[in-house]
Structure 1
Amino acid sequence: MKIIVIEDNPDISEIMDYILKDEGYEVISAEDGTITNSFDELKPDLVLMDELLPGKRGSEWCQHIKSTPSLRHIPVILVSTMPNLEQLAQKSGADGFLEKPFNISSLGALIREFAAKKNNF
């Protein structure tokens, strides 16, 4: 399973990368949402996206993904410290959300849930 982590904080990105690779996932990291322009070639199975990115917010990138026919099937999880993250996720069409700070088991469980959904299709 290929996961794209879009996170501008290098420490958080490194932690997520380590956790996910340790779980056996292929991980591609990016600092901003412009990587979404390469999704047709990269073919991610899941996207973990920070809300507070430079330039456009994660929820704006999520809306872009969900409004693009060739990309809308890709699950997107918004990750943030924002107090209204659940509402942002719903409004942007995200498939889920994860509040920061998160613990390793929460991240692992969320990813396994999406991996199980993917394997059921």
Structure 2
Amino acid sequence: MKIVVIEDNPDIMDVVDFILSSDGHELIPCNDGSIAANLHNINPDLIFIDEFLPVKRGSEICKNIKANPLLQHMPVVLISTVPHLATIASQSGADAYLEKPFELSDFLAITNSFVKV
């Protein structure tokens, strides 16, 4: 599975990279959300987006993805420490959310829930 991870914390990106690589997935990392302009070419199976990014909120990136007919089929998971993440995820059209700090098992469960059989 090809997974885009938009996360500005290098420690979290390292952990996510280790988890995904160990589980046989291809990680495409981005630390600022700029990759969103190229998602139609990348065609990821799953996108994880941190809510707090340097330039734009993850929920805004998610809204843009879900408003684009060419991208809206791509599952998006918001990840953050922000309060009321469930509400923010729902309002942005995210397919799921994951609160930080997260357990390895929770991260893998969400990832595997989007695996195409």
2:27 corresponds in structure 1 to 27
User: In the alignment, does 2:87 pair up with 1:80?
Assistant: no
Q: Kindly provide the amino acid, as one letter, of the partner of residue 67 in structure 1.
A: A
Q: Kindly provide the amino acid, as one letter, of the partner of residue 109 in structure 2.
A: A
2:53 corresponds in structure 1 to 53
1:33 to partner: Cα distance: 1.2
Unmatched tracts of structure 2, length 5 or more:
none
Residues in 1 aligned to 2:47 and 2:32: alpha-carbon distance in whole angstroms: 12
Residues in 1 aligned to 2:54 and 2:18: alpha-carbon distance in whole angstroms: 23
2:9 corresponds in structure 1 to 9
1:44 match: secondary structure: coil
Residues in 2 aligned to 1:10 and 1:49: alpha-carbon distance in whole angstroms: 14
CA-atom RMSD, angstroms? 0.7
Q: Kindly provide the amino acid, as one letter, of the partner of residue 4 in structure 2.
A: I
1:5 to partner: Cα distance: 0.5
2:94 corresponds in structure 1 to 94
Residues in 2 aligned to 1:14 and 1:49: alpha-carbon distance in whole angstroms: 15
1:103 to partner: Cα distance: 1.0
1:72 to partner: Cα distance: 0.4
After superposing on structure 2, the runs of 4+ consecutive aligned residues of structure 1 that deviate more than 3 Å are: none
Q: Report the TM-score, using the length of structure 1 for normalisation.
A: 0.94
Q: What percent identity do the matched residue pairs reach? A: 50
Unmatched tracts of structure 1, length 5 or more:
none
